[in-house]
Amino acid sequence: MSLDYRLSDIDDYQNLCWLPTGKVKKDGNPELYMNPVTHALIFLQMPILMGRITEKNYVEVFRRISMYEQCMGAFVSTNKGGYFITLQDVKDHIGLWTNVFEDTFPKFKKELMMRLERYAADEIRSQLSKMEEGA
């Protein structure tokens, strides 16, 4: 299933979600690219099991993103390194909608823990293999 999203309900989405590249298109309009934070917030909806950002749930959305990033690392990369999503970033994106099925916080925690356990098991296998090659 595709990940669908809608930005048009975000206040000032034209300036928040789309940034100028500094180039001009043939029609004279500025060339734009998606704000990396907007892009990250769209794709983070899947692992955090939230489908939209609203006035009522933006703190919960941030809580899940913060937990996810603390375990998995910053979701946004810049030329200065990782950038961790802030509460203000999430609040600024109130109105973001995706077709992600929303689920409970306990379900999110269970999924996150299972992901961490898989990563740990993969890392153990990788390091054991390297140790056996060096023996």
Residue 46 and residue 8: Cα distance in Å, rounded? 20
**pLDDT value of residue 133:** 86
First CA to last CA distance, the chain: 46
**pLDDT value of residue 135:** 65
- In Å, how far are 5, 49, 81, 107 from 36, measured between CA atoms? 15, 20, 13, 27
- In Å, how far are 1, 35, 53, 98, 128 from 18, measured between CA atoms? 25, 6, 18, 17, 46
What confidence tens digit (pLDDT) does each residue in 21-69 have? 999 989 989 999 999 999 999 999 999 999 999 999 999 999 999 999 9
Q: Are 94 and 38 in contact (CB under 8 A)?
A: no
Question: Which pTM was predicted?
Answer: 0.88
**pLDDT value of residue 125:** 95
